[in-house]
Amino acid sequence: MLFTVTQDLTKGKAKKSVTSTYTINVMQNGNGDMVVTKNPTIAAEPATARIKLPDTQSDNSVASSTADDVTKFLKTFFALYPKSDRNELKYYVKDGTHPIERNLKFVELLDPVFKQTKSSLTVTLSVKYLDTDNDMSQVSQYTLILSKQSNNWIITKGI
């Protein structure tokens, strides 16, 4: 674990703020108690990550009729995915995939973004499920590559 402590120090009339960063190893024992396994060790202060996020906007390269068709396919797939067996999933995912085998109820697709490439279609989206075992919502993010085979869509990558 990495943590930072900021202290306001006063010596006479002089005041200053000092920031220190430390790492510490903490483990949890079988009783659920937290145990410090190594004393705090001074460390460099963490910096903000400098990453460039991919463009998450549709580029209008996909016709609305295609987007509607793919959306329908994905709603069907994600509704079946949690409960289907491996044989049934072969119709939706190239070379098949393992089923989730959880009590999830499909709720909705969130913010699908469609981009056409030469030979396939990329869809970036989130899928909202309701876990019926604990009544909690679960949102999973996917970047899927789809292609059309014999007038049917199939997921070729991303599952």
Distance between terminal CA atoms of the chain?
32
- pLDDT, one tens digit per residue, over 16-38 is 998 899 999 989 888 889 888 88
pLDDT band at 46 (very low <50, low <70, confident <90, very high): confident
* Whole-number pLDDT of residue 128: 97
Sign of CA dihedral 149, 101, 84, 90: positive
Task: For the chain, give every domain's residue range.
Answer: 2-42, 64-157
- pLDDT tens across 77-133, in order? 999 999 888 889 999 999 888 888 889 999 999 999 999 988 899 999 999 999 998
60 conformational bin, left if phi > 0, alpha if psi -120 to 50, beta if neither: left
User: In this structure, which CATH number among 3.40.50.150, 3.30.950.10, 3.10.450.540, 3.30.1490.190 belongs to the domain 64-157?
Assistant: 3.10.450.540
What is the torsional sign of CA 74, 77, 82, 87? Answer: negative
pLDDT at 108: 97
